[in-house]
């Protein structure tokens, strides 16, 4: 029987693949070359670095990550080694959108007077753009690859976005080199070009924001409000920055129950397709979800309708996501980042 190694923190997956594989569950950081050696597949999260050191000489045919990001996987090495890589792209988009809206609400910004600049407009950034417009915000978008492909109507130059936005929120993958490099995209230079008193939100990857540059920008009051969910050097986060930001969470922006279900479902479906397991190719968890608030407000709808929807969402927000309470908890338990993230009680999506 084929062997599959699965990160033990991936929810809702235990018992699903046992009829088809010898299944080994391990902490993500504990998946070692010796475990990979006899495995046909890995199902991982961001805590497992999948590179030559882990995979060389192994029998791994594919890696499915139950996350949208894939910077923990050496894609080039996997191509060379003939290892297929599958992501769960888009699985947590609505959860991250709800996180960003909670952060904006906590900052007391009003939709009528606020321009939000979104850098990176894939599954998450694209959904965020549509949602914010329906709630009455002015939205600017900048996505360099899409702009270079000729989409000039929707995507402006990043310098223009930075200079015009009251809030800048990052939704890019982490790319460490090349023409679309995002490593330290939020640098001292970017902050210097921003409006005085700008709000910065990062729920993409920690290394997209230069920690020291953000600290300086907060000290100088160039950045007057900040919401940080992802951090450089996780879980050993910079405690000076932790103490300075207004919203601080433990890499849980996308941690909704539905988002985690989607991530697991997509990963299992990828494995089923790879190994031709017909019974699991459309596998769903099928949990009960509460009724969602209808957000069907036209982007060209009336200001009154948009304001009404904003109030409806924000009035209910504390019942589903008390972002200030979670900030207070992380700040008072700063050495427990990994435990907070690993034991997080998944939120319910409500709109």
pLDDT (0 to 100) of residue 234: 95
Q: How many CB atoms lie under 10 A from the CB of residue 296?
A: 8
Averaged pLDDT, groups of 10, the chain, 351 residues long: 97 97 97 96 96 97 95 96 97 96 97 97 96 96 91 88 98 95 98 98 98 98 98 97 98 95 97 98 80 70 90 92 97 97 92 90
Q: What is the pLDDT of residue 291?
A: 66
Q: What is d(CA 271, CA 16) in angstroms, rounded to the nearest whole number?
A: 11
Catalytic (active-site) positions: 205, 234, 251
Measured from the Cβ of residue 76, the count of other Cβ atoms closer than 10 Å reads 10
Beta bridge partners, 63, equal 42, 85
Q: Which domains does the chain have, with CATH numbers?
A: 3-87 (3.40.50.720), 93-251+324-342 (3.40.50.720)
| Residue 151: predicted pLDDT | 74
Q: Using a cut of 0.85, tell me whether the model's pTM lies above it.
A: yes
pLDDT at residue 298, as a whole number: 66
Q: Is the omega angle on the peptide bond into residue 235 within 30 degrees of 0, that is, cis?
A: yes
Q: What share of the chain is helix, strand, coil (3-state, %, to 5)?
A: 40, 15, 45
pLDDT of residue 299: 67
């Amino acid at each position: 029987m084929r062997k599959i190694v699965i990160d033990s923190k991936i929810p809702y997956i235990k018992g699903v693949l046992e009829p088809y594989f010898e299944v080994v569950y391990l902490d993500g950081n504990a998946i070692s070359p010796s475990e990979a050696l006899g495995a046909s597949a890995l199902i991982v999260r961001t805590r497992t670095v999948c590179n030559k050191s882990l995979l060389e000489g192994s029998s791994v045919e594919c890696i499915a990550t139950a996350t949208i990001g894939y910077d923990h996987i050496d894609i080039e090495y996997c191509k060379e080694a003939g290892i297929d890589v599958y992501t769960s792209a888009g699985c947590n988009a609505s959860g991250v959108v709800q996180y960003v809206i909670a952060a904006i609400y906590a900052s007391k910004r009003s939709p009528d007077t606020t321009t939000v600049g979104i850098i990176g407009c894939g599954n998450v950034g694209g959904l965020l753009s549509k949602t914010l417009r329906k709630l009455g915000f002015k939205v600017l978008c900048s996505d360099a690859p899409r702009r270079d492909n000729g989409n000039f109507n929707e995507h402006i130059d990043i310098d223009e976005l930075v200079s015009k936005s009251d809030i800048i929120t990052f939704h890019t993958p982490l790319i460490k080199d090349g023409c679309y490099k995002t490593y330290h995209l939020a640098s001292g230079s970017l902050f210097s070009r921003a409006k005085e008193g700008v709000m910065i939100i990062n729920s993409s990857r920690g290394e997209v924001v230069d920690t020291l540059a953000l600290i300086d920008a907060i000290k100088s009051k160039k950045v007057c409000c900040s919401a940080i969910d992802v951090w450089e050097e996780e879980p050993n986060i910079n405690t000076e920055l932790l103490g300075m930001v207004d919203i601080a969470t433990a890499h849980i922006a996308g941690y909704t129950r539905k988002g985690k279900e989607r991530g697991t479902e997509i990963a299992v479906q990828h494995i089923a397709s790879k190994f031709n397991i017909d019974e699991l190719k459309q596998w769903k968890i099928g949990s009960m979800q509460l009724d969602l608030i209808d957000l069907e407000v036209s982007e060209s709808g009336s200001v009154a309708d948009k304001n009404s929807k904003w109030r409806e969402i924000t009035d209910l927000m504390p019942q589903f996501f008390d972002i200030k309470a979670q900030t207070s908890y992380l700040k008072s338990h700063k050495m427990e980042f990994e435990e907070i993230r690993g034991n997080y009680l998944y939120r319910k999506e409500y709109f």
